Amino acid sequence: MESKKSNVPRPIKKLDESVVNRIAAGEIIQRPSNALKELIENSLDAGATNIQILIKEGGLKLLQILDNGHGIRREDMAIVCERFTTSKLRNFEDLLHIGTYGFRGEALASISHVAHLTIATKTADSNCAYRACYSDGKLVPPKPGVAAEPKACAGNIGTQITAEDLFYNVPTRRKALKNPNEEYARILDVVNRYAIHNAGVGFSCKKQGSTQADVNTLSTASTLDNIRQIYGSTTSELLEFGKTFRKLEFRVNGYISNPNYNLKKMVFLLFINHRAVESSLLKKTIESVYTTYLPKNTHPFVYLSLEINPENVDVNVHPTKREVRFLNEEEIITAVGDAIQERLVGANSSRIFLTQTLLPGAKPIEINTNEAESSIKKPGTKVLTYKHVRTDSRAQTLDRFCAPDDVSNSFNAVPQSSADNEFDTRHSFHDSIEGDNAVSSSLKRKRDRNEVRLTSILTLRKRLREVEHKGLTELLSNHTMVGCVDDSLTLALIQHQTKLYMINYNVLSEELFYQLTLQEFSNFGFIQLSSPAPIYDLIIYALESSVQETENLKPNHEIALIIVNKLISRRQMLLEYFSMTVNEQGELVTLPLMLKGYSPNLNKLPTFLLRLGTEVDWDTEIGCFETLSREFGLFYAPEPPDFSFQDADDDLMDIDTNNEHADINAKKQERDGVITNQRQKAEIAKYRWQIEHLIFPTLKGQFIAPKSIAESGHVLQIANLPDLYRIFERC
């Protein structure tokens, strides 16, 4: 229907206070991540060193934050959710040198207008904690017929804030935020940023019902440790960056990626006076600097912290405080861009490239992609030989069927004597179960395959397909192994079609053995230890070797005893489902056989047994099977041989070489050194054989690549054959 325009002006009326508050709340709390950002900043202002976050349905159903800050006084709880109530600002001039995140006193008020809010808090001088519920900025009773005043309750020093049913009274906003996964991703982004910037604060964030946190940083970790925890191997390619500009009254520091590293999407973490903000102009400036160094359509990782004179910064610009204004903005942004340019120029003088073998005087031959080797020669230069990989994935080498001697004998070792097996804390753990002597010739394979009908296992297997990255799965299933690049960094090269990739096979192996544990559930073979391993002694060794602080934990012997009793009580389940035998004396007798011919690194066994007690969720079925499978993945993932214990023994032999037996000791040390070098070479050969002929073929045939690996930079394309052709043409 058409409405006729009236010439009569409408009367101006004052909006109802509840309408005003709801409109204002919608400007500040636009989505769950905005609410969480405000709550995190409140916790940091309260001096918290540990912040725990719990989320349900992307924060729309539940958003809970728990900190160990100084708490809220009981007498302040009546007004804590009213608008413009704050402990951080007294007059407008305080904004000129504001040193806290919050200052307007609107965050809790805004949340209380669009969610059901509950606060539980305790101060250091209070005998107990107090809990109160809020709606529209006012105290409300938790249920009808009960007083609204804060109620005494149990609790630790700090504050727990729970927001439920966010935007329950704003249906249009609630409908617009219909993707919980997207909202949870935004929440993780906020937590990641503050976790990296606040190195002295521990952060954890997980979904309700999940046993593992998606973000978990320690209060003792450094900024670089937190970046490594969140973004993986990025840290090996980062450059520390810092510079002071006295004329412009600011300082910048942080970490930026070097020219060897690039991402499909830029990671830009910007803090100005410790506040997470956005600056599109600074982002464009940084990207323009990197265009000189990075391939087209790739981007850097940048974390910057700018400390500007507070009197030159206006933080009261945007309701969510995500934007700030400051004096000399263009000059400061230009100065930051120039400083990054200088840092990259210095780092670019040394770049990482693959090396080729120099063959002086070699004769040039025709390039043939079907030949194993070819060379290119220019007048007056040496010849570079290039080893071409087979492009047919069906091609195999003869050594595929011929394992090194150490590998073929790894399951036929002679059992150690009782003296050799005696656990002695004076020596390294490697001396107690040295090499493959811990494994006897008894390898048993179950003949009849059991059909698994447990809903929990079927659910975990289904989840593998739900998070599959089909492109990476296809790449790995049709790749050609080129070779190991760096054993210490667990890097290898593979070829797929015309592209060359570098992958971190340790990360992929952890996921691979996790999947094998689920796939072979209740159908494992057995690895029989040559003599039962004392679980209690191994856990004690792991605890004594740990570098973590244990002041607030139970004594080591109590922890070890608890874990041993737990494993003994669950030994029937471990044997039936995982072929892991624990006898009544608390000794480990067998381990599951994941891959024929493959044995785990037994130096990791003490840590593995310790983590079975600390990291496995023994209370729920699906949680138990998932976390236990993850621990098997960590334990079985290959790691390079560790020869540090041998170096320690050599150091001991160097003592007192000037006595009458010096010549005898020198000859013995020389003979032992030759044997040690031979053994080290044999162990490295065995390790690489297992990687090339056991791990990678299994990745090709049975691996379901998750999206998390594809997005974390553990599989990087480093060369493309058509691009190389263009380079050779220009040469």
Q: What is the pLDDT of residue 310?
A: 80
Count H helices and E strands in the chain, helices first. Answer: 24, 27
Task: Tell me what pLDDT residue 280 has.
Answer: 86
Cα four-point dihedral sign 584, 587, 589, 591: positive
Q: So what's the pLDDT on residue 409?
A: 43
Got the DSSP string for 309-341? -GGGEE--SSTTS---EETTHHHHHHHHHHHHH
Query: Given this model, what pLDDT does residue 433 score?
Result: 40
Structure-model confidence comparison of residues 376 and 390, the more confident one = 390
Listed range (10-14, 44-48, 429-433, 512-516) with the worst mean pLDDT:
429-433
The predicted structure's pLDDT at residue 685? 82
Query: 98 versus 166: which is more confidently predicted?
Result: 166
pLDDT at 607 over 50: yes
Task: Name the residue with higher pLDDT: 280 or 346.
Answer: 280
Q: Rg of the Cα trace of the chain?
A: 31
Mean pLDDT in residue range 210-231:
90
> Can you give the pLDDT at residue 27?
56
Compute, in degrees rounded to 10, the torsion defined by CA atoms 648, 651, 656, 661: 90
The whole-number pLDDT of residue 350 equals 52
For the cut 90, the answer to whether the pLDDT of residue 313 exceeds it is: no
pLDDT band (50, 70, 90) for residue 288: very high
Predicted pLDDT at 651: 46
What pLDDT sits at residue 391?
46
CA distance 235 to 255: 9
- 47-76: average pLDDT: 94
pLDDT bin (cut points 50, 70, 90) of residue 231 is confident
User: What CATH class does 231-346 carry?
Assistant: alpha beta
Amino acid letter at 184?
A: Y
**593 in helix, strand or coil?**
strand
pLDDT of amino acid 16 = 63
Check if the beta carbon of residue 612 is closer than 8 Å to that of residue 632: no
Q: How confident is the model at residue 19 (pLDDT cuts 50, 70, 90)?
A: low
- With b for 16 or more beta-carbon neighbours within 10 A and e for fewer, the 555-576 pattern comes to ebeebbbebbeebbebbeebee
Q: How far apart are CA 664 and CA 417, in angstroms?
A: 28
Higher pLDDT, 613 or 548: 613
pLDDT digits (tens, 9 = 90+) for 687-719: 888 888 888 888 888 899 998 888 888 888 888
* Structure confidence at residue 175 (pLDDT): 83
Give the pLDDT band (50/70/90) at residue 290: very high
- Please, which pLDDT band fits residue 286 given cuts at 50, 70 and 90? very high
In contact, 711 and 507? CB cutoff 8 Å: no
Task: Tell the CATH topology of 17-217.
Answer: Heat Shock Protein 90 (3.30.565)
98: left (phi over 0), alpha (psi -120 to 50) or beta: beta
Pair 650, 669: CB distance under 8 Å: yes
Q: Tell me, what's the pLDDT at 362?
A: 40
pLDDT surpassing 70 at residue 101 = no
pLDDT at site 497: 83
The whole-number pLDDT of residue 275 equals 84
Residue 612's pLDDT is 93
Average of per-residue pLDDT across 481-488 = 78
pLDDT of 311 reads 79
**Residue 385 pLDDT level (bands cut at 50, 70, 90):** very low
The answer on pLDDT for 586 being more than 60 is yes
pLDDT surpassing 50 at residue 299:
yes
Q: How far is CA 421 from CA 409, 415, 557, 650, in A?
A: 20, 9, 21, 22
pTM above threshold 0.75: no
Q: Report the chain's mean pLDDT, rounded to a whole number.
A: 77
Least confident piece of the model among 123-137, 224-238, 435-449:
435-449
122 vs 130: CA distance, rounded Å: 6
- What would the mean pLDDT of 290-308 be, rounded to a whole number? 90
**Per-residue confidence (pLDDT) for residue 150, from 0 to 100:** 92
- In sequence order, which residues have a C-beta less than 8 Å from that of residue 265 and are 6 or more positions away? 299
Q: Confidence class of residue 641 from pLDDT cuts 50, 70 and 90?
A: confident
Same fold for the pair 17-217 and 231-346:
no
Q: Tell me if 498 sits within 8 A of 478, measured CB to CB.
A: no
pLDDT band, residue 483 (cuts 50/70/90): confident
pLDDT digits (tens, 9 = 90+) for 393-449: 445 554 555 555 544 444 333 333 333 333 343 334 444 443 343 444 344 444 568
Residue 573: what pLDDT?
A: 92
Domain ranges of the chain: 17-217, 231-346, 525-593+602-636
pLDDT for the residue 413: 35
